[in-house]
């Protein structure tokens, strides 16, 4: 990633300083679903590309000991002012000090910013930084879905089109194995009318996906994002 590509990225993403290291009820709801079954209490947790710090704040609230990496200078300064421990964004530079150190690593909306060779290097470094049985959680736009194109092509800094199938290919027979390909559904929040509207939209989406899969003989998930979990093999 070239740092000059991210000039004023905070302004474009609408990340004001007063919201740094805070999470909304909506974000907490999504994180709770994505991290279902992942123990965070006392876990050593690393977020790669922590952005505005919402996930770091939430995982800390769950009892995790938090660390982060980032290339955005504004994020780095805000994190240092908040006392967050920062690692090198070039992950291999953190070895061997952090080899086998982390219980959980997350990279949300990060891997699409990397080239495939950079992704391979990142996966190798993450595997070395995780404890045996440690978890890696990833989120990226779904390149196998027409509905993922909106997110994929909304940012010129995206370098790779990814999918569950591609990550399976990149990790096949390696130290990381895919252990969950889709997250738990987050329950809708808000008023009764809003919850009913969300449930209706979800039902319509499921029907549309079923129809498209049947008509086009598709054998893949059509969600906008891929949210997946990988586990470091114990042997």
pTM: 0.95
Are β-strands 65-69 and 85-86 bridged in parallel, bridged antiparallel, or unpaired? parallel
Question: Structural domains in the chain?
Answer: 3-189+222-232 (3.40.50.150)
pLDDT bracket for residue 182 (50, 70, 90):
confident
Average pLDDT, the chain: 95
pLDDT bracket for residue 145 (50, 70, 90):
very high
Helix residue ranges per DSSP H, the chain: 9-13, 25-34, 54-61, 73-81, 116-129, 149-152, 164-171, 192-216
Is the Cβ–Cβ distance between 153 and 206 less than 8 Å? no
State both tokens at 52. 């505005």
Is pLDDT at 1 greater than 80 in this prediction? no
State both tokens at 163. 């999918």
Q: Mind listing the pLDDT tens digit for each residue in 3-54?
A: 678 888 988 888 988 999 999 999 999 999 999 999 999 999 999 999 999 9
User: Over pLDDT 90: what percentage of the chain?
Assistant: 91
Length of the chain: 235
Q: What is the DSSP string of 148-213?
A: GHHHHTT-TT------HHHHHHHHTTSSEEEEESSPPPPPP-SSHHHHHHHHHHHHHHHHHHHHHH
Q: Mind listing the pLDDT tens digit for each residue in 192-217?
A: 999 999 999 999 999 999 999 999 99
């Amino acid at each position: 990633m070239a740092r000059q590509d991210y000039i004023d990225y905070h302004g474009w993403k609408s990340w004001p300083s007063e919201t740094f290291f805070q999470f909304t009820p909506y974000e907490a709801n999504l994180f709770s679903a994505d991290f279902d079954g992942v123990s965070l209490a006392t876990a050593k947790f690393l977020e790669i590309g922590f952005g505005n710090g919402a996930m770091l704040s939430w995982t800390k609230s769950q009892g995790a000991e938090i660390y982060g990496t980032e290339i955005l200078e504004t994020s780095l300064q805000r994190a240092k002012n908040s006392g967050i421990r920062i690692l090198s964004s070039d992950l291999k530079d953190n070895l061997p000090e952090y080899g086998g150190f982390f219980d959980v690593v997350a990279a949300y909306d990060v891997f699409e910013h990397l080239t495939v060779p950079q992704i391979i290097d990142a996966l190798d470094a993450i595997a070395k930084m995780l404890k045996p049985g440690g978890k890696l959680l990833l989120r990226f736009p779904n390149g196998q879905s027409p509905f993922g194109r909106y997110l994929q092509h909304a940012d010129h800094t995206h370098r790779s089109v990814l999918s569950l199938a591609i990550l399976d290919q990149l990790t096949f027979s390696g130290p990381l194995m895919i252990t969950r390909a889709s997250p738990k559904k987050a329950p809708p929040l808000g008023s009764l009318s809003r919850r009913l509207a969300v449930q209706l939209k979800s039902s319509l989406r499921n029907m549309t996906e079923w129809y498209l899969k049947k008509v086009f003989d598709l054998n893949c998930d059509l969600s906008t994002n891929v949210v997946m979990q990988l586990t470091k093999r114990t042997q």
